[in-house]
A and B are shown apart, each in its own frame.
Chain A
Amino acid sequence: MSTRTRYHLAQFNLATLRFPLADPRMADFVALVEPVNALADGTPGFVWRLVEEGEADATGMRPAGDDVIVNFSVWESAEALWDFVYRSAHLETMRRRREWFQRHVDAHLVLWWVPAGHVPSVGEALERLALLRADGPTPRAFTFSSSFTAEEAAGAGPGAGAGAGGEPAGGEPAGAEPAAL
C-alpha cells in the first residue's frame, strides 16, 4: 500500500467567538454550520469530523476555552482538504471571519498525518497545536503554507505518528499561517 492510502491528513483549528453563538450578530454564521458540514460530509476525500455526542456538530464543545469553538476533521489528502476549505461554499465562512471571530495572534490551525483508520482525539489535536506553536512547522505539526508529505512525516521517525517531541524550530512564524478563521 502506498503512503497515500496508509495515512490521512488531520486538521484542527480554533476560532475565538466575538459574540456568543446565540447572539443575533452570529446568526449568519450559525445558519452556515449545518449546510457547510453537510457539504464536507459529501466532499470526495472527506473521512471524519468531530461531532459532540448526541449533537449534530461540535460547536458546543469548548476544549480550548469557553469562547473558543473547534473545527476538527480528517481527509484523504491535502488537496481534498484544501479544495473544501478554500474552493467550496466553506470559503464564505472564511471571507466573513472577521465579523464573527477574533484575530488570533498564535497559530490556530494545525495539520498532521494520522494512520488511516485512526480517529484522533481532541487531546491529540491540542498537543499538535502546542507543538506547532512551540517549534514552528515540522513533519509532526504543520500548516498549509508550510506543509509536509506523509512520506516526510513517516521518515521523521516513530514520534511523528504519536505526537511525541518536536523538531527544531524552523521556517516562518506559525502566527503567519493564513489558513484558518
Chain B
Amino acid sequence: MEDIDAIALLQDPVRRRLYEFVAGQGREVGRGEAAEAAGVARTLAAFHLDKLVDAGLLEAGSRRLTGRSGPGAGRPAKVYRRSSAERDVSVPARDYRTAAGLLAEAAESAGLDMELQDAARRKGRALRGRGGSFGTLDDLAEVLAGRGYEPVMDEDGAVLRMRNCPFHVVAEQFPPLVCGMNLALLEGLVEGSRVRVRMDPRPGWCCVAAAHSKNNEH
C-alpha cells in the first residue's frame, strides 16, 4: 500500500480515534479496550483495527489478556500496537530523509557534533520565542506533543518522558550525533524555564527526559 493510501485511512474519525488510542498506550491493546476508548462497538472496532493492520499502521499479535496460562486460561486475544514502520507523504514529492541522512553522515565523518549542538540550541531558543519559558512540566508537555515527541508523565508526575523520537531514522543511524542534537534543541527550548532536560535514554524511548529544576538552577 502506498504511504498516501495508508495515511488516508486515518481520515475516518473512528479509525483515527482507534489509531491514536493504541499509539498512545505504548503497549499492546485488546479489541475490547480499544472499542471502549473509541466509543464504538467491539465488532466495528475489530474491523477498523484490522484495516489499520493491513495498512501497516498497526501491528497485531495475540496474547492471553487475563495473564493466566494453561488449561482454562481461555483463547489468546488479538492485541494491537503501533507499527514501527513509518509512513510519510510530501506533496509535491520531496525527500528530506535522504537529505538528513547525508548531512548527518557528513557531520559525523567531519566530527561536527559541537557545531551541530550549537545550531540545535539556537534553534530551540528560536522555537521558544521571545520571553517564552515553561513554569511546569505540563506546559512543556504541550509544546513537545505539538512537535511529535509524545510526552508521557511518569507515574508520580515528576519526570516527563517521550515515547517518540521525531528524528528516529537518523537517530538510529547516528545515535550520538543526533541524540546530542536533540538534547541541545530541547535545552535551548527550556532555557530560562523552571524545568530542565537531561539525557536519560532507555530502549524504545526518546533519549531525553524532563523534570522540574532544583534550586531554581536552569
Contacts and interface: CB of A to CB of B under 8 A. Distances in A.
Chain B interface size, under 10 / 10 to 19 / 20 to 34 / 35 or more: 20 to 34
Contacts of A175: 109
Contacts of A89: 200-201
B113 interface: yes
B203 A95 contact: no
A178 B173 CA distance: 7
B67 to A, nearest CB: 22
Nearest to B204: A87
B34 interface: no
B105 A176 contact: yes
Contact of A97 (B113, B200, B205): B113
Interface residues of A, number: 20
B111 A98 contact: yes
Interface of B: 105, 108-111, 113-114, 173-177, 179-180, 183, 199-205, 207
Interface in A59-97: 83, 85-89, 91-92, 94-97
Nearest to A99: B114
Main secondary structure of the interface of B (DSSP, over half): helix
B76 to A, nearest CB: 25
| Smallest CB-CB A-B distances: 10 pairs | A103-B111, A94-B176, A86-B175, A95-B180, A178-B174, A98-B113, A87-B203, A83-B203, A87-B201, A91-B201
A91 B199 contact: yes
B190 to A, nearest CB: 17
Contacts of B176: 86, 91, 94-95, 97, 178
Given A99-B114, A103-B110, 13 more contacts: A85-B175, A87-B203, A87-B204, A88-B202, A89-B200, A91-B176, A91-B179, A94-B175, A95-B176, A95-B179, A95-B199, A145-B173, A176-B109
Which of A89, A91, A94, A178 is the most central at the interface, judged by chain B CB atoms within 10 Å of its CB? Answer: A178
Residue among B176, B179, B200, B207 having the largest count of chain A Cβ atoms under 10 Å: B176
A98 B114 contact: yes
6 contacts: A83-B203, A87-B202, A89-B200, A91-B179, A91-B201, A95-B180
A130 B112 CA distance: 26
B97 to A, nearest CB: 16
A145 B173 CA distance: 7
Contacts of A86: 175-176, 179, 201
A92 B180 CA distance: 9
A155 B108 CA distance: 33
A88 B176 CA distance: 12
Nearest to B172: A86
A95 B111 CA distance: 11
Contacts of A99: 114
Nearest to B180: A95
Contacts of B113: 95, 97-98
